[in-house]
Amino acid sequence: MSAADHRLLQDVLGRGTARRQDRRRLFDRGFLLVCLCITTIAVLALAVLLVSVLVEGIPGLSWDFIDRYTSRDASKAGIKAPLWGSVWVAGICAVVALPIGVATAVYLEEFAPKNRVTGFVRLNITNLAGVPSIVYGILGLTLFVRMFGLFGPALDPSMEVGGRIYAIYYDVTGEAIRVPAAARGEAPTLADGTIGYVEEIEDGPDGELIFTDRWTPVTLSVVPEDADDPATVGAIDAYSAAEPADFEVVRPWYYLQFPFGQSVLAGGLTLMLVVLPIVIISSQEALRAIPNSLRAGSLAMGATRWQTTYRVTLPAAIPMIMTGAILAMSRAIGEAAPILVLGVALFITDVPSNLMDNFTVLPMQIYNWTNRWQEDFRELAASGIIVLLGALLAFNAIAVLIRQKLQRPLQ
């Protein structure tokens, strides 16, 4: 090939390469423009939603709205019960999911052998992260609420630990009286001189009755069927004394029942199933990001594998692990589908005081209000959304502070 032909070939190849580079740059710019347009549309839609929620919900925000229970009257409705329900559920979810998730990730990355079994486990954890949350709700209903029917077909507790059981009777004046019972469904034997308990009731400022939850002992007397009923507290007709009207369980903080039923513990454990794969995967990625030179240096100094993991690898990965925990808890707080599957009541007028209490959460309450046809409840839903966002930001802020606190010794 002559020199002229060689120059001509180089010129043709150069023009072809330049055209390919121009097409690549044009394609890159076009792809970047498409991404910017999609991101802008998403941000604008989010901004419109936030502005509309703020405009409609801020006027209804007040301390009374946060401190009142829900009501069928929109002017008296508040969000206290679902707010504290969300706090309880998120707390249970975090306490259970984070240790289990981090421990699983540490074992799989630092201790488990690389074989088909562990590979199969890792693959399934990755797949579980993409399962719809409503599927976890069905699993939680079967596993935690009903416990596979091992304790009976009904949701009523078949086994209770730590509660004080009382039989409820009504005396001739209509007063409710508690009498200690050995077990639920087992009526105590009433006789003259049996000690019962009557709740103290006070008159409210508007003439309404206030139940104080203070119980005063009273001596009971059983009135025979052929005798006149004395109008005194503690006198119970013989036919009323034969069978109690109901049974009540006083639940201290350590009370536990089986099955769990539609309790705040069942809700927290169900959301734990939802976020557990996310915690495991994010923790695995955090551990993989730690350079192997740190592990090798620790092992070379004579540390065991556990000491290396506990004192070197895990502390270095904590900031990234906390980032994954923040994302997981953000999802847990906003989940409504799994809680809805559990059959949680939408109208709750009490705050959970132990793990077995009934509950509702903010997404459920907002869902309930948005389904009402009255416009006032729509405004309450907007105010509830603002409270939900505030609770979400508060949980994230706490997690960020913990992450920064744990990161300082490594700097």
Q: pTM of this prediction?
A: 0.83
Task: In whole angstroms, give the CA distance from residue 267 to residue 300.
Answer: 47
Q: What pLDDT was estimated at residue 411?
A: 43
| Residue-wise pLDDT tens digits, 68-127 | 988 888 888 899 999 999 999 999 999 999 999 999 999 999 999 888 999 899 999 999
Cα distance between residue 67 and residue 77, in whole Å = 10
Reduced to 3 states, what is the DSSP secondary structure of residue 212? strand
Q: How far apart are CA 157 and CA 160, in angstroms?
A: 7
Contact 110, 287 (CB under 8 A): yes
**Regions of the chain where pLDDT drops below 50:** 408, 410-411
For residue 355, CA distances in Å to 70, 131, 147, 352, 380 come to 21, 27, 16, 7, 28
| pLDDT value at residue 347 | 81
Backbone angles phi, psi at 88, to 5 degrees: -60, -50
Cα–Cα distances (Å) from 284 to 160, 332, 347, in that order, read: 39, 20, 41
As a whole number of angstroms, the distance between CA 324 and CA 276 comes to 11
Whole-number pLDDT of residue 268: 95
**Residue at 255: amino acid letter:** Y
Q: Are 287 and 313 in contact (CB under 8 A)?
A: yes
CA distances from 388 to 53, 323, 327 (A): 12, 20, 15
Helices (H), ranges, 58-129: 63-67, 80-106, 116-128
How far is it, in rounded angstroms, from Cα 94 to Cα 326? 10
Q: In the numeric block, which tokens belong to residue 410? A: 């490594």
Q: Is the dihedral of CA 47, 50, 56, 61 positive or negative?
A: negative
Q: Which of 174, 178, 175 has its CA nearest to residue 188?
A: 178
Residue 276 burial (10 A CB sphere; 0-12, 13-18, 19+): buried
